[in-house]
Structure 1
Amino acid sequence: MMKFKFFLLQALLSSSLACAGVMGDKPETETPNRLFFAGLGGSYNSVKLDQYFNPLIGTTNIYNGGTLVAFGTANGPAVPFHTTQTTFAPEAQLGYLQSFSNQDWLWGIKLAYNYLSITMTDSDLVSPQLGTLTAVTGAGTGFTGRATISSIQTRIEHEFDLMGIIQHSFKNIHAYLGLGPTTFGTRTNIYNVTGFADIDGTHVDVSGTPVNFASTKWVWGGVVELGMTYFFNPTWFLDINYRYALSPHNKTNYTSAFAGTLANGYTKSGTLFGTTNQYITVQGLTFTINKVFDFV
């Protein structure tokens, strides 16, 4: 029995060493010196929005039978809005890589697209207002008031990243760093803005019918990416990466005119002005399968 156990142990060790020898003799995947690639996959993203609606200004002229009798202005900020949401997004990418004279190092460029399609909503905003109403005779009256906003909806639809790449090859596994500009396709809708004033104990709806604002913009920023690729063979590879993209500043001005009649029969006309400042930050983890197009 002891001889059988010794023989079995010897056989297992011999088999293990033989397998190790076979695995060790397996050739590692060599990547082309120059290549184009295209890939499809998906990403899991954390999207942060920091939004400031400041200032919100209203100006008003008051007329009696077409004659200007008074004018006023009021302004104040809304409460800042900070939120973070997560989303899955499809991703597509195109790129080019070429080795330096030392073939362990490569340089290149990559264009990546993520369809983020995420909407962030700040609801029931109130902007406290301080203002002055001045008669054409020169007498001025200070007042307080507020502007109300039903909601501000910001949709971040698209993200394009264009990056220069520095990559190091460990045979079929590569590690890389990417850096470059990014742009976000955004749309902001501001619904039902109304200005009110409290003058001499009287609550006045200054702007009348609520107004809406809208803006569609491409917002520029920067992106950095850390990644690893695994080549299954010279024509297919897996790309796994982490990216950090942000737009440092996105300022948008809005304006809308209003007009109407006051309770005393006087007419009014004026303008609502508003400015939003938005900061977008995206962190994402991406997986793509890529096809290599080699050329000489």
Structure 2
Amino acid sequence: MGRSTARRSNRRTGPDGAGHRSRARRRRRRGPARAVLACLALGAVLLTAGAAVAYWRETRPPVTDDQVADVTDALDASTAKPSASSSPSPSPSLKTSPSPSVSPSPSTIAIPATGPGTFVTAQADGTTVGTGSRVRRYKVLVEDGVDIRPSAAADEISEVLADDRGWTQDGTNSFRLVSSGSYDFVVKIATPGTVDKICGAAGLLTRGEVNCSVGTDVVVNLKRWVLGSPEFDGPIHEYRALIVNHEVGHRIGHGHETCPGAGRPAPAMMQQIKGLKGCVANAWPYDEAGDYLGGPSVP
């Protein structure tokens, strides 16, 4: 019984071992065949792709010079550094105010009909100009609301009074700009309405058009300071010199004068705004040689 069992066991294991070996041989034979099929499939794919690329190259439109330029411009734009001329504008919140050393031009200065009658004093002090023993201290004031900086007006008036053609040439008078303390006269730049009030209080009729000198006040009409006079064909700064020289002339004792003769310089003490009477417009009491440019006195 033991041998019979052993033989049956050998018969079962024998065929099973042979089957395993047979399946292994079949797998080894199929391996190379599968590799060949994979290579053939890959080759077919490559051939198809190559044919498609060749067809695309033959049928695509050519690249034009304009297309090349467009691409080049795009690249340049993306890599270009900003130049000084293309810098961004400042933000509206960063507005810059005008430099305080720049005065408004005559064409941009508004001329109100009247003002509050109050004034701002120029905070400026100068040295004495002239060699005369009579030093006349003066202030410069501008009416509130007028678009003229008091310091700028003071600078311009100081230049007029320091000019060699001005009143310092008489050898008697000198001038010094002050902002405080005692003074001999005050130059006030005022609106036409305020001029009429100040001058009218002294019985002078200015009609909103002309200047006047009242007591210690040299009252300058804003309209004349900005617009000049149709009778004066020189630059506006020259006409302002005439205003200052004429009114300060009154302050130091000079009265009105008239034209000394056709073609000659009109005296600074002449009311040139009323007509030149044959004379040539002139802003200065003296010429460059130091000679007085006067004329006959008038009431």
TM-score by length of 1: 0.21
Structure having greater relative contact order (Cα 8 Å, sep ≥ 6): 1
Higher strand proportion (structure 1 or 2): 1
Higher helix proportion (structure 1 or 2): 2
